[in-house]
Amino acid sequence: MRVMVVEDDEDLRVAVCAELGAHGAVVTAARSIGEADLALRAAAYDCVVFDRMLPDGDALHFVRAGRQRGWTTPVLFLTALAAVGDRVDGFAHGGDDYLVKPFAMAELAARVRMLCRRAGARPPVLRYADLEVDCARREVRRAGTLISLSRKEFAVLEYLAIRPEQVVTRSELIEHCWDDGTDPMSNVVDKVIKRVRDKLHEPGLVHTIRGRGYRLATA
Protein backbone atom coordinates (compact mmCIF):
# COMPACT_ATOMS: atom_id res chain seq x y z
CA MET A 1 0.00 0.00 0.00
CA ARG A 2 1.24 3.48 -0.89
CA VAL A 3 0.40 6.18 1.67
CA MET A 4 1.08 9.90 2.03
CA VAL A 5 1.35 11.52 5.46
CA VAL A 6 0.82 15.30 5.52
CA GLU A 7 1.85 16.65 8.94
CA ASP A 8 3.89 19.75 9.87
CA ASP A 9 4.95 18.48 13.32
CA GLU A 10 8.25 16.80 12.48
CA ASP A 11 8.38 14.40 15.44
CA LEU A 12 4.83 13.19 14.83
CA ARG A 13 5.36 12.98 11.08
CA VAL A 14 8.46 10.80 11.52
CA ALA A 15 6.70 8.58 14.07
CA VAL A 16 3.61 8.06 11.91
CA CYS A 17 5.70 7.31 8.83
CA ALA A 18 7.77 4.79 10.79
CA GLU A 19 4.65 3.07 12.16
CA LEU A 20 3.00 2.77 8.75
CA GLY A 21 6.28 1.62 7.21
CA ALA A 22 6.52 -1.11 9.84
CA HIS A 23 3.12 -2.33 8.64
CA GLY A 24 4.34 -2.59 5.06
CA ALA A 25 3.30 0.76 3.65
CA VAL A 26 5.42 2.74 1.23
CA VAL A 27 5.16 6.19 2.79
CA THR A 28 5.68 9.66 1.32
CA ALA A 29 5.89 12.55 3.79
CA ALA A 30 4.76 16.13 3.20
CA ARG A 31 4.78 19.16 5.51
CA SER A 32 2.20 21.34 3.79
CA ILE A 33 -0.74 21.35 1.41
CA GLY A 34 1.53 22.62 -1.35
CA GLU A 35 3.97 19.72 -0.94
CA ALA A 36 1.09 17.26 -0.84
CA ASP A 37 -0.42 18.71 -4.01
CA LEU A 38 2.86 18.29 -5.92
CA ALA A 39 3.25 14.69 -4.74
CA LEU A 40 -0.35 13.81 -5.60
CA ARG A 41 0.12 15.12 -9.11
CA ALA A 42 3.22 12.97 -9.55
CA ALA A 43 1.97 9.59 -8.25
CA ALA A 44 -1.08 7.61 -7.18
CA TYR A 45 -1.72 6.79 -3.52
CA ASP A 46 -3.98 4.31 -1.77
CA CYS A 47 -4.62 6.66 1.15
CA VAL A 48 -3.64 10.15 2.38
CA VAL A 49 -3.35 11.03 6.07
CA PHE A 50 -3.91 14.78 6.49
CA ASP A 51 -3.35 16.92 9.55
CA ARG A 52 -6.00 19.61 9.20
CA MET A 53 -4.25 22.78 10.30
CA LEU A 54 -1.14 23.09 8.13
CA PRO A 55 1.17 26.07 7.53
CA ASP A 56 -0.60 26.98 4.29
CA GLY A 57 -4.19 26.40 5.39
CA ASP A 58 -6.84 23.94 6.50
CA ALA A 59 -6.53 20.65 4.57
CA LEU A 60 -10.32 20.40 4.71
CA HIS A 61 -10.62 22.94 1.90
CA PHE A 62 -7.99 21.18 -0.24
CA VAL A 63 -9.80 17.84 0.11
CA ARG A 64 -13.20 19.40 -0.60
CA ALA A 65 -11.87 21.01 -3.80
CA GLY A 66 -10.32 17.71 -4.85
CA ARG A 67 -13.57 15.84 -4.32
CA GLN A 68 -15.37 18.40 -6.46
CA ARG A 69 -12.88 17.65 -9.26
CA GLY A 70 -13.51 13.91 -8.93
CA TRP A 71 -10.50 12.95 -6.79
CA THR A 72 -11.39 9.67 -5.03
CA THR A 73 -8.31 8.70 -2.97
CA PRO A 74 -9.37 7.85 0.62
CA VAL A 75 -8.48 10.52 3.20
CA LEU A 76 -7.99 10.17 6.94
CA PHE A 77 -7.94 13.44 8.88
CA LEU A 78 -5.52 13.24 11.83
CA THR A 79 -6.08 16.32 13.95
CA ALA A 80 -6.42 17.91 17.36
CA LEU A 81 -9.77 19.43 16.32
CA ALA A 82 -11.93 17.15 18.43
CA ALA A 83 -15.35 18.82 18.61
CA VAL A 84 -18.31 16.98 17.12
CA GLY A 85 -18.77 19.82 14.62
CA ASP A 86 -15.16 19.46 13.46
CA ARG A 87 -15.57 15.74 12.89
CA VAL A 88 -18.84 16.28 11.03
CA ASP A 89 -17.13 18.89 8.84
CA GLY A 90 -14.36 16.44 8.08
CA PHE A 91 -16.78 13.86 6.74
CA ALA A 92 -19.01 16.40 5.02
CA HIS A 93 -16.09 17.85 3.05
CA GLY A 94 -14.65 14.62 1.72
CA GLY A 95 -12.90 12.81 4.57
CA ASP A 96 -13.33 9.05 4.82
CA ASP A 97 -12.14 8.76 8.42
CA TYR A 98 -11.27 11.10 11.29
CA LEU A 99 -8.85 10.34 14.15
CA VAL A 100 -8.33 12.80 17.00
CA LYS A 101 -4.93 13.47 18.60
CA PRO A 102 -3.63 12.00 20.83
CA PHE A 103 -4.17 8.58 19.32
CA ALA A 104 -2.80 5.04 19.44
CA MET A 105 -0.41 4.25 16.58
CA ALA A 106 -1.86 0.74 16.26
CA GLU A 107 -5.32 2.20 15.69
CA LEU A 108 -4.01 4.60 13.05
CA ALA A 109 -2.28 1.76 11.19
CA ALA A 110 -5.46 -0.36 11.30
CA ARG A 111 -7.59 2.50 9.98
CA VAL A 112 -5.13 3.21 7.15
CA ARG A 113 -5.05 -0.47 6.14
CA MET A 114 -8.85 -0.51 6.05
CA LEU A 115 -8.96 2.57 3.81
CA CYS A 116 -6.33 1.11 1.49
CA ARG A 117 -8.31 -2.11 1.14
CA ARG A 118 -11.42 -0.07 0.40
CA ALA A 119 -9.54 1.89 -2.28
CA GLY A 120 -8.42 -1.30 -3.99
CA ALA A 121 -11.79 -3.04 -3.46
CA ARG A 122 -9.92 -6.29 -2.94
CA PRO A 123 -10.46 -9.16 -0.47
CA PRO A 124 -8.25 -9.39 2.63
CA VAL A 125 -6.80 -12.70 1.36
CA LEU A 126 -5.57 -12.97 -2.23
CA ARG A 127 -5.50 -16.50 -3.67
CA TYR A 128 -3.87 -17.76 -6.84
CA ALA A 129 -3.19 -21.44 -7.56
CA ASP A 130 -1.81 -22.81 -4.25
CA LEU A 131 -0.64 -19.37 -3.09
CA GLU A 132 -2.40 -17.36 -0.35
CA VAL A 133 -1.44 -13.76 0.44
CA ASP A 134 -3.14 -12.56 3.63
CA CYS A 135 -3.01 -8.76 3.34
CA ALA A 136 -4.42 -8.13 6.82
CA ARG A 137 -2.09 -10.47 8.71
CA ARG A 138 0.77 -9.97 6.24
CA GLU A 139 1.26 -13.70 5.90
CA VAL A 140 2.01 -15.81 2.84
CA ARG A 141 1.32 -19.50 2.46
CA ARG A 142 1.98 -21.87 -0.38
CA ALA A 143 0.19 -25.21 -0.32
CA GLY A 144 -0.65 -24.41 3.29
CA THR A 145 2.97 -23.84 4.35
CA LEU A 146 3.79 -20.49 5.95
CA ILE A 147 6.55 -18.58 4.12
CA SER A 148 8.57 -15.86 5.85
CA LEU A 149 9.00 -12.73 3.73
CA SER A 150 10.54 -9.34 4.47
CA ARG A 151 8.32 -6.25 4.27
CA LYS A 152 9.63 -5.41 0.80
CA GLU A 153 9.27 -8.98 -0.45
CA PHE A 154 5.70 -9.10 0.84
CA ALA A 155 4.87 -5.75 -0.79
CA VAL A 156 6.14 -6.94 -4.19
CA LEU A 157 4.34 -10.30 -4.01
CA GLU A 158 1.14 -8.64 -2.80
CA TYR A 159 1.15 -6.24 -5.75
CA LEU A 160 1.72 -9.10 -8.21
CA ALA A 161 -1.08 -11.09 -6.52
CA ILE A 162 -3.49 -8.18 -6.96
CA ARG A 163 -3.00 -8.55 -10.72
CA PRO A 164 -2.47 -12.27 -11.39
CA GLU A 165 -1.53 -13.27 -14.93
CA GLN A 166 -1.01 -9.60 -15.85
CA VAL A 167 2.37 -8.09 -16.65
CA VAL A 168 3.51 -5.61 -13.99
CA THR A 169 6.29 -3.29 -15.07
CA ARG A 170 9.40 -2.46 -13.07
CA SER A 171 8.22 1.16 -12.86
CA GLU A 172 4.87 0.10 -11.37
CA LEU A 173 6.59 -2.00 -8.71
CA ILE A 174 8.94 0.84 -7.80
CA GLU A 175 6.04 3.30 -7.65
CA HIS A 176 3.96 1.12 -5.35
CA CYS A 177 6.61 -0.68 -3.28
CA TRP A 178 9.51 1.75 -2.91
CA ASP A 179 9.86 5.36 -1.86
CA ASP A 180 10.24 8.27 -4.27
CA GLY A 181 14.05 8.29 -4.08
CA THR A 182 14.51 4.89 -5.71
CA ASP A 183 16.34 4.93 -9.04
CA PRO A 184 14.10 3.19 -11.61
CA MET A 185 17.24 1.97 -13.40
CA SER A 186 18.68 0.22 -10.33
CA ASN A 187 18.51 -3.54 -9.84
CA VAL A 188 16.64 -3.46 -6.51
CA VAL A 189 13.52 -4.96 -8.10
CA ASP A 190 15.45 -7.87 -9.61
CA LYS A 191 17.04 -8.67 -6.25
CA VAL A 192 13.71 -8.74 -4.43
CA ILE A 193 12.03 -10.76 -7.19
CA LYS A 194 14.83 -13.35 -6.99
CA ARG A 195 14.42 -13.67 -3.21
CA VAL A 196 10.65 -14.08 -3.57
CA ARG A 197 11.11 -16.77 -6.23
CA ASP A 198 13.60 -18.65 -4.05
CA LYS A 199 11.26 -18.58 -1.04
CA LEU A 200 8.21 -19.71 -3.03
CA HIS A 201 10.18 -22.69 -4.41
CA GLU A 202 9.14 -24.72 -7.44
CA PRO A 203 7.06 -24.84 -9.51
CA GLY A 204 7.74 -21.19 -10.29
CA LEU A 205 4.97 -18.63 -9.93
CA VAL A 206 6.81 -15.34 -10.48
CA HIS A 207 8.05 -14.96 -14.05
CA THR A 208 10.16 -12.34 -15.80
CA ILE A 209 8.67 -11.16 -19.08
CA ARG A 210 11.73 -9.91 -20.93
CA GLY A 211 11.55 -6.23 -21.81
CA ARG A 212 8.16 -5.81 -20.14
CA GLY A 213 8.20 -6.70 -16.45
CA TYR A 214 7.00 -9.52 -14.18
CA ARG A 215 3.93 -11.73 -13.91
CA LEU A 216 2.38 -14.02 -11.33
CA ALA A 217 1.32 -17.07 -13.31
CA THR A 218 1.45 -20.86 -13.27
CA ALA A 219 3.28 -20.95 -16.63
How far, CA to CA in Å, does 160 sit from each of 156, 170, 214? Answer: 6, 11, 8
Q: Cα(151)–Cα(177) distance, rounded to whole angstroms?
A: 10
Residues 6+ apart with CB under 8 A from 211: none
**Nearest C-alpha neighbor of 143 from the set 155, 129, 163, 157:** 129
Please give the pLDDT value at position 17.
Answer: 94
Q: Whole-model pTM above 0.95?
A: no
Q: What residues in the chain have per-residue pLDDT under 70?
A: 119-123, 180-186
Please give the pLDDT value at position 199.
Answer: 95
Please give the pLDDT value at position 119.
Answer: 61
Q: Cα(57)–Cα(182) distance, rounded to whole angstroms?
A: 31
DSSP string, 103-146: --HHHHHHHHHHHHHHHHT--SEEEETTEEEETTTTEEEETTEE
**Structural domains in the chain?**
2-120 (3.40.50.2300), 125-216 (1.10.10.10)
Whether the bond between 164 and the residue before it is cis, its omega within 30 degrees of 0, is no
| One-letter amino acid of 47 | C
CB count within 10 Å of CB 163 equals: 13
CB count within 10 Å of CB 166 equals: 12
Q: What are phi and psi of 140, to 5 degrees?
A: -125, 135
* Exposed/middle/buried for residue 80 (C-beta within 10 Å: 0-12, 13-18, 19+): exposed
Please give the pLDDT value at position 68.
Answer: 86
Please give the pLDDT value at position 114.
Answer: 86
Q: What is the 8-class DSSP label of residue 212? A: T
